Amino acid sequence: MSTLEEYVYGINTVQEMLSAHPEEVLELLLARDRRDPRLKRLLDMADTRGIKVHPRPTEVLSRLAGNDHHQGLVAVVRGFKYTTFEELVAQLSGVERPLVVLLDGVQDPQNLGALIRSAHILGAQGVIIPQDRAAGVTPTARKSSAGAVVHVPVVQVVNLARTMDALFEKHGLWMVGLDQDAPSDLSALDLTVPVGLVIGGEGRGLRPLTQKRCQLMGRIPSLAAAGGVDSLNASAAGAVAMYEVLRQRRALV
């Protein structure tokens, strides 16, 4: 499912789209007063691919982007197309130790984008999000991912708990939940097996139904003094946890 058109903004994000999925880019809107040298390569790419570029006032780009952080560039693109669960499973079949990130109600699109970016950099094969009461891949999420959404399959599901069951029972991924009150440090768990890393939403963490579906629970140790900030936000915790998976697997080589 996708909307017909969206506005994606920012030089890195648009450049990634032009590199990976130029067929998704309908046209580029460029601020008339913009003289950023980084735009030359991007505009050359657009010209090579036959994508039209139209000058627009900066205030028009700000209105389309919904903010002033567009760096003088807005791309009109086809609406984001989610990967289906079946497509993701097919891609996992050839991976020896898959890592899939499941987000239990992350509502901030900037956190979602940051998590997708970490998933791309740290080797996850996909990200799964709920359809309801959670952020989707909006233009803000695309910008926060720095273009990583074109490289990482993102699956939107109706029922996250059932998806977790299917990944464990049918496809052999162990569900590993993050919780600051878990009995074991994440580093004490064996993350060299196929893993579904389950990360809770901002503030409330994992829902009880989701936590019940996890075979393992781990915490990220904190060195904060009593009374200080004693836990990471969703995107930071997810990045640390994904790195721990990568660290353990590299030790096997």
pLDDT over 60 at 49, yes or no: yes
pLDDT over 70 at 178, yes or no: yes
Which is more confident, 25 or 20?
25
pLDDT over 70 at 33, yes or no: no
pLDDT in tens, 231-249: 578 899 999 999 999 999 9
Query: What is the C-alpha to C-alpha distance for residues 61 and 131, in angstroms, rounded to an integer?
Result: 29
**Whole-number pLDDT of residue 125:** 97
Average pLDDT value for the chain: 89
Which class is 5-78 in CATH?
alpha beta
Bridge pairing between strands 25-31 and 73-78: antiparallel
pLDDT in tens, 179-238: 988 999 999 999 999 999 999 988 788 999 999 999 999 999 875 444 333 457 889 999
Q: CA end-to-end span of the chain, whole Å?
A: 40
The amino acid present at 195, given as its one-letter code, is V
Q: What is the pTM of this model?
A: 0.81
> Any idea which residue has 């503030």 for tokens?
203
Q: Give the pair of three-digit tokens for residue 148.
A: 């990583």
Q: Where are the domains of the chain?
A: 5-78, 85-250
Average pLDDT score over residue span 167-184: 94
Is the fold of 5-78 the same as that of 85-250?
A: no
Topology of domain 85-250, CATH: Alpha/beta knot (3.40.1280)
